[in-house]
Structure 1
Amino acid sequence: MRPARSTSRPRIAAVTALTALIALGVPATATGGTAGPGGHHRPCVASRHVPERGPAGDILRVAEQAKAEMDLKSVILRVTLDGRDVLTTALGESMTGEAAEPAMHFRNGNIAISYMGTALLRLVDQGKAGLDDPVSRWLPDAPDGDRITLRMLAASTTGLRDYVRDPGFQQAVVDNPFRQWTPEELVAISTGQEPWYAPGTNWSYSHANFLLLGAALEKITGTRLDILLKRQITGPLGLRETRNSFTPDIPTPVLHAFTAERGTYEESTFWNPSWTTAPGAVQSTDICDLARSASAIGSGELLSPASRRELLNPGTVGLGHPTATCPATVCLAQTEATHYGMGVIVLGDWVSQHPLFFGYSASMNYLASERLAIAVSTTQNPNAADGHSAHTIAQRIAATLAPDHLIPDFG
């Protein structure tokens, strides 16, 4: 079902005015950010002279209100139209006495999964792999590798259980958030349990899928994953501030994160993210790279038309029904309007991802019909509720700029 259209504003959305400004060659705001389709100048800086009236002022008010309402420590955001800056700004603090800045780096979590999905599709375009190749061709020891395909890994239809939902794993992370996890340990947690369903027959998110996908990409290309993603994705897109790390380090300047998930409000910036996805795809980024990623991945800039269609629906529509082993909270219903693609989420007319990791929340969203990209990153104060605060802000910005194209919830 498509989201209901707003009737509280005229059908000519704020984005139309922005399009007119760009057509006239007038920048929406002054910026040090974008350098056109190829990337953005360094450093990533806030827009100057934000007018009180107009789209930039509207976005700023949405962010300020959300920061106060959700008790957020920081909100960093960037909105672009056709690659041109509408608003880039940072509100609040990174840590006590240090203002948040757009150039600050934060963990991008499953944004890297969108890179892996696009990297796989690029390899398909290059004739180096087929989506329906069995994983055993590349990973002979992979569980059920003769029945699980590359498509199933990227689209999360393997049936492999998600180790992140395992109570023993959760307790181990709480007890020692600095622990370095290996892919072998993590996949073993998933494969040590009965699968949720037969491969390809249903849909459910499992981090194990992307550990195996990363390993398969390395085998297909003979290239370490971090180098592969730089060659196939971040390099061609000019994402100079998006970097892998094999340690919990984050390049300076750092947006610091805090969480009360262990019962007390504490800094979580350098908690170990090794369990989140495949080694080589554990990345940090900044808000300008995140906005650039939204437009590039969402538009399929690096893909053939056929591969972009696969990106948006590799066969997941209609899947997600509960089974005896896969409850409704895990097997979320996939519809034409809201479903999982190849490492991305299709939310109505938007292509999205929204990572969440120990005090960090981020969201990237792209509306192809308007060439509109929304990127948000947040951190939280002691009384903030856990959840996708960055994505909630992105939804509110979308409702302001493009009320006929609301971003629905997912999960």
Structure 2
Amino acid sequence: MTRTRTALLCAAALLATTLQTTTATTAAARHEQRCADTSDTRRGEARRVMDIVREAHRDLGLKAALVRVTTDGREVVTGAVGESMAGVPAGTDMHFRIGSVGIAYMGTVLLQLVDEQRVGLDDPVSRWLPDLPHGDEITLRMLGSSTSGLHDYVTDPDFLAQLDAAPFRQWTPRELVAFPLRHPLWYQPGTNWSYSHANFVLLGLALEKITGTPLERLLDERVMDPLDLRETRNSFTPQIPQPVLHAYDDERGTYEESTFWNPSWTTAPGAVLTGDICDLARSARAIGAGELLSRRSYRVQLDPGTVGLPGPTDTCPADVCLPQTEEFHFGVGVIVVNGWVVQNPSFSGFAAVQAYLPSERLAIAVSTTVDQDGASGNTAQRIAERIADALAPEQPLGG
């Protein structure tokens, strides 16, 4: 009986291994098919892009860099350099955190609801969040464009101390918003611009109240499914789907693995997303071209009235309030830089950027992780800027 049980266990283990191998092979094949070139590759541009990525990998001290560039939806290049972990090469099928890309999706859903005449952008959020201080003055437009005047909790020393002490902690929206609500508004709502994560936590809650639908389902039904973003998904836990691009961070004073630090603090529950480089490029093109919006709402997304806001004032310092110009301003969940439509998440060792230049139908997606003593800041953004300089020199992606 023992021998039989052992044989059955060995057979089961062999079957499980075979199934895992088959599943991995099938997933890899699906990835290759989904990311495959659909036209003659522009080989010269592809080489230039990969040379830029390899050079940045060296001079920025990166662990890994993933990149995909498309023109009019057709691949220019898709590639990966470096390692995910020691001895494990980075791959273009690896998943990573895409952070504030979820903010662009929430902004898109908000404008879809405006298109459907279910809400008005200038409706006060007190209609759906009656307990929010200043809720009668703050509108949906102000949440989406980050012009509410609310402080950003990620600049609050108390919040940062708690985050550093417990990077695996699961945060709730109430806990997060409590930090900015301790402070007076930076300015009268709608009169200036300052980035605040609290705006987008609140926007997610408002979208759920408006529609009676959980945010993760809203984003699936209105963004990810229509765009066929099969590798982009929400996670209510720190889990990342396999295969995983691992990340490393030195913010707590030592260089350490940060892959599975809890991202619940980054934005509204339901919009805490992971994805792969092919989905990120597809997302860049779709959001950047306004594929999911009416022409009117697309124009509003690119400028909801932020252009011309003054920046630093007596009550709002220069490191908080930034002047909003035609060349650089915030839209509804997106950043507009010299005509490029951008989102550029960077946290817990992960950095990424999706950028789209409508005039050239050019999409750039980059994801990076840093090695020990690597460069600070959003290194994916820096690579994307170099690629943009090479492929669209008359419209730099840099600020």
> TM-score scaled to structure 2, two decimals?
0.90
What is the Cα deviation at residue 324 of structure 1?
Answer: 3.0
Which of 37, 57, 61 is the aligned partner of 2:51?
61
Are 1:224 and 2:214 matched, yes or no?
A: yes
Which of 257, 268, 276 is the aligned partner of 2:266?
276
- Structure number with the higher helix fraction is 2
Are 1:193 and 2:183 matched, yes or no?
A: yes
What does the per-residue CA deviation read over 1:177-226, in whole Å, with 9 as the maximum and x for residues that have no partner?
11111100111111111110111111100000001100000011100000
RMSD: 1.9
* In 1, Cα distance between equivalents of 2:231 and 2:33: 9
Match of residue 19 from structure 2: none
Instruction: Quickly say closer, same or farther: Cα 1:320–1:174, change in 2 above 3 A.
Output: farther
Q: Which one-letter code corresponds to 1:213 in the other structure?
A: L
What is the Cα deviation at residue 323 of structure 1?
Answer: 2.5
In our comparison, the structure showing a higher alpha carbon Rg is: 2
* In 1, Cα distance between equivalents of 2:69 and 2:217: 29
Match of residue 386 from structure 2: 396
Are 1:149 and 2:139 matched, yes or no?
A: yes
Match of residue 27 from structure 2: none
* In 2, Cα distance between equivalents of 1:153 and 1:406: 28
- Aligned to 1:241, what secondary structure does the other structure show? coil
Q: Which one-letter code corresponds to 2:62 in the other structure?
A: L
Instruction: Quickly say closer, same or farther: Cα 1:127–1:42, change in 2 above 3 A.
Output: farther
* In 2, Cα distance between equivalents of 1:252 and 1:99: 14
Are 1:140 and 2:130 matched, yes or no?
A: yes
Instruction: Quickly say closer, same or farther: Cα 1:157–1:191, change in 2 above 3 A.
Output: same
Q: Which one-letter code corresponds to 1:323 in the other structure?
A: T
Q: Unpaired segments of 5 or more residues in structure 2?
A: 1-29
* In 2, Cα distance between equivalents of 1:215 and 1:313: 23
Instruction: Quickly say closer, same or farther: Cα 1:293–1:320, change in 2 above 3 A.
Output: farther
Match of residue 380 from structure 1: 370
What is the Cα deviation at residue 57 of structure 1?
Answer: 0.4
Q: Which one-letter code corresponds to 1:112 in the other structure?
A: G
* In 1, Cα distance between equivalents of 2:394 and 2:180: 41
Residue 31 of structure 2 contacts residue 93 of structure 2 at CA under 8 Å; is this kept in 1?
Answer: no
Residue 45 of structure 1 contacts residue 103 of structure 1 at CA under 8 Å; is this kept in 2?
Answer: no
What does the per-residue CA deviation read over 1:103-128, in whole Å, with 9 as the maximum and x for residues that have no partner?
10000000000000011001111111
What does the per-residue CA deviation read over 1:56-98, in whole Å, with 9 as the maximum and x for residues that have no partner?
0000100000100001000000000111111000111100111
> TM-score scaled to structure 1, two decimals?
0.87
Instruction: Quickly say closer, same or farther: Cα 1:143–1:57, change in 2 above 3 A.
Output: same
Residue 44 of structure 1 contacts residue 287 of structure 1 at CA under 8 Å; is this kept in 2?
Answer: no
Instruction: Quickly say closer, same or farther: Cα 1:64–1:52, change in 2 above 3 A.
Output: farther
What is the Cα deviation at residue 320 of structure 1?
Answer: 4.4
Residue 45 of structure 1 contacts residue 101 of structure 1 at CA under 8 Å; is this kept in 2?
Answer: no
- Aligned to 1:361, what secondary structure does the other structure show? strand
* In 1, Cα distance between equivalents of 2:36 and 2:255: 29
Match of residue 35 from structure 1: none
Match of residue 291 from structure 1: 281
What is the Cα deviation at residue 143 of structure 1?
Answer: 1.8
* In 2, Cα distance between equivalents of 1:127 and 1:338: 30
Match of residue 130 from structure 1: 120
What is the Cα deviation at residue 359 of structure 1?
Answer: 0.7
* In 2, Cα distance between equivalents of 1:79 and 1:300: 18
Are 1:251 and 2:241 matched, yes or no?
A: yes
Query: What are the residue-to-residue correspondences of 1:7-406 with 2, within 5 Å?
Result: 54-406=44-396
Residue 43 of structure 2 contacts residue 76 of structure 2 at CA under 8 Å; is this kept in 1?
Answer: no
